[in-house]
A and B are shown apart, each in its own frame.
Chain A
Amino acid sequence: MIKSELVQIVAARNPHLYHRDVENIVNAVLDEITDALAAGNRVELRGFGAFSVKNRPSRSGRNPRTGDSVFVEEKWVPFFKTGKELRERLNPGADDEDDE
């Protein structure tokens, strides 16, 4: 499923809305999550999962071709942890033991 298909499905469930409005709704949701992560915040959506930003400290890496040691700058990467409910829906019947 791509974004335009998501818009179509949501639009079909809300026939009173303009297609353009549904597009704006989907974009507003994704933009809000993006802005939150950029601000260093966490986004928690029960039933789906949680978005957060992980810090990767600087390290010295190696150029695999030459073997030269290179400094790798510290970075921040978006991270997502699947929620319990979604994990259970993906594996119906299996009991989830690996919980914190």
Chain B
Amino acid sequence: MSGKTVTRADLAESVFRKVGLSRTESAELVETVIDEICNAIVRGESVKLSSFATFQVRDKNERIGRNPKTGEEVPISPRRVMTFKASNVLKQRVLKAHLSRKAKQKPQSPAA
């Protein structure tokens, strides 16, 4: 089920094919896009990319955790975490693609 891993190089290749900039410039622009998304998140902004997803920063309070190996209690310091919420468009795309692949792969036996 898990096939290849897509990286920056693949994103740059897609920009190269679709937009028609040079390969070098395509790679730079992919970098800029990722950078600016990260910068906004670090500034504490939520990033809403319609029909893709929303990235949000949440503040977590201090809480008491436990070392699962020793059972020792340790304080977990307050921190900022990022949450990812996929848009309905993205969720539907992913779900439908997987369902149709599953239907093609295995015409389920009529048992059960």
Contacts and interface: CB of A to CB of B under 8 A. Distances in A.
A72 interface: no
B15 to A, nearest CB: 5
Contacts of B2: 40-42, 52
Interface string A58-100: 0000000000000000011111101000110111001000000
Contact of A41 (B6, B8, B11, B53): B6
A49 B36 CA distance: 14
Interface string B73-97: 0000101111010100011011111
18 contacts: A1-B37, A3-B48, A3-B50, A9-B36, A13-B36, A29-B15, A29-B34, A32-B6, A32-B11, A32-B14, A33-B11, A39-B3, A40-B98, A42-B2, A42-B6, A53-B94, A77-B86, A80-B84
Interface residues of B, number: 53
Interface in B1-45: 1-8, 10-11, 14-15, 18-19, 21, 26, 29-30, 32-34, 36-38, 40-42, 45
Contacts of A48: 34, 37-38
| Interface size range on A against B | 35 or more
Contacts of B101: 40
Nearest to A86: B38
Contacts of B53: 78, 80
A25 B11 CA distance: 10
Interface in A7-55: 9-10, 13-14, 17, 21-22, 24-26, 28-34, 36-49, 52-53, 55
